[in-house]
């Protein structure tokens, strides 16, 4: 029996979103990187996940615009710089919960 709401922050390409959608009535999947978000949308459609709301944004303690530092791989991006990141960045809307 499904119940409750789950929030998947940094949903990446939807692997965890699929699992959460089977367990919860509603899943909010947040992904700030365009390439990953597009794959996430395709995953939602292909799997028929009607209880998932995708959100194209980042989450932090302050809302506004934020710079996303991109990791060398397609996952592990962050609003906070770490040595493993490339010099590539993208600007994204930042929301608070």
DSSP for the chain, written as a single string:
---SEEEEET-TTSHHHHHHHHH-SEEEEE---HHHHHHHHHHHHHHT-TTEEEE-SEE-SS-EEEEEEEESSSS--BSS--TTEEEEEEEEEEE--
Mean of the pLDDT values across residues 7-17? 95
**What percent of the chain lies above the pLDDT cut of 70?**
88
pLDDT at 32 over 80: yes
User: Cα separations (Å) of 94 from 20, 29, 67?
Assistant: 23, 14, 9
Q: Where are the domains of the chain?
A: 5-55, 58-95
- What is the pTM assigned to this prediction? 0.85
Q: What is the mean pLDDT of residues 61-83?
A: 78
More confident residue, 78 or 56: 56
Residue 6 pLDDT: 98
Per-residue pLDDT at 53: 98
Residue 52's pLDDT is 98
Q: What is the mean pLDDT of residues 32-53?
A: 96
């Amino acid at each position: 029996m499904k119940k409750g709401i789950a929030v998947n922050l940094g949903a990446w390409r939807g692997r965890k979103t699929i699992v959460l959608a089977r367990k919860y009535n509603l899943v909010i999947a947040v992904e700030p990187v365009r390439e990953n978000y597009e794959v996430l949308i395709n995953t939602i459609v292909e799997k028929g996940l009607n209880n998932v709301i995708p959100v194209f944004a980042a989450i932090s303690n302050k809302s506004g615009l934020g710079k996303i530092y991109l990791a060398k791989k397609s996952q592990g991006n962050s609003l906070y710089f770490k040595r493993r990141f490339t010099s590539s960045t993208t600007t994204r809307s930042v929301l608070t919960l």
